[in-house]
């Protein structure tokens, strides 16, 4: 057994928060990528295809990841002790608005009795969904997630 310094393997206080946030970001990005592929299939409904059986699962995971997204970012920023807090707080407010708008669109699609490719294509094109994705790409670089 080799010994190592306590700091070499000790996680930083922000590592868990980064991991939680990264998991949410991944769920949103994976849903978007799946939606792009689903939209390209030209399916009239979700019935009768392998992708159709998965669309609600991806959208539900996206919905869950969007719920409380701003709070998860706040926790991450706080645990990382990023200073000064003002720019982070201001951007978190932007993400909150974008995430709530994107989530409303996702919930609208989930409420439909059948989810066809055209509906998903319109969701993909939504400026709300694109805004939250862009927010997450920026945060990913800033927070190193």
pLDDT tens, N- to C-terminus, the chain (145 residues): 444 444 445 667 678 999 999 999 999 999 999 999 999 998 888 877 778 789 999 999 999 999 999 999 999 999 999 999 999 999 999 999 999 999 999 999 999 999 999 999 999 999 999 999 999 999 999 998 8
Q: Is 62 among the domain residues? A: yes
Q: Is 4 among the domain residues? A: no
* pLDDT (0 to 100) of residue 11: 66
Under DSSP, is residue 137 helix (H, G, I), strand (E, B) or coil?
helix
Q: Is 5 among the domain residues? A: no
* pLDDT (0 to 100) of residue 5: 41
Tokens at residue 135, please? 């927010």
Q: Is 94 among the domain residues? A: yes
- CATH number of the domain residue 118 falls in: 1.20.120
* pLDDT (0 to 100) of residue 95: 98
* pLDDT (0 to 100) of residue 10: 63
* DSSP assignment of 54-91: HHHHHHHHHHHHHTTHHHHHHHHHHHHT-SSHHHHHHH
Domain tally, the chain: 1
What is the pTM (predicted TM-score) of this model? 0.88
Closest by Cα among 78, 81, 31 to 51: 31
Q: Is 47 among the domain residues? A: yes
* pLDDT (0 to 100) of residue 53: 81
* pLDDT (0 to 100) of residue 105: 98
* pLDDT (0 to 100) of residue 7: 47
Quote the domain boundaries for residue 76: 13-143
Q: Is 3 among the domain residues? A: no
Q: How many CA atoms lie within 13 A of 117 on its CB side?
A: 12
Tokens at residue 109, please? 């699609």
């Amino acid at each position: 057994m080799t010994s190592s310094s306590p700091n070499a393997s000790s996680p930083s206080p922000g590592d868990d928060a980064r991991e939680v946030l990264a998991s949410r970001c991944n769920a949103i990005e994976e849903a978007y990528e799946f939606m792009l592929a689903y939209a390209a299939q030209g399916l009239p409904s979700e019935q009768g295809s392998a992708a159709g059986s998965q669309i609600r699962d991806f959208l539900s995971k996206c919905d869950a990841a969007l719920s409380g997204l701003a709070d998860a970012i706040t926790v991450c920023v706080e645990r990382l002790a990023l200073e000064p807090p003002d720019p982070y707080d201001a951007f978190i407010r932007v993400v909150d608005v974008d995430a709530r708008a994107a989530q409303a669109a996702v919930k609208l699609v989930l409420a439909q009795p059948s989810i066809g490719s055209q509906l998903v294509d319109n969701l993909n094109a939504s400026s709300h969904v694109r805004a939250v994705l862009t927010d997450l790409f920026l945060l990913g670089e800033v927070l190193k997630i």
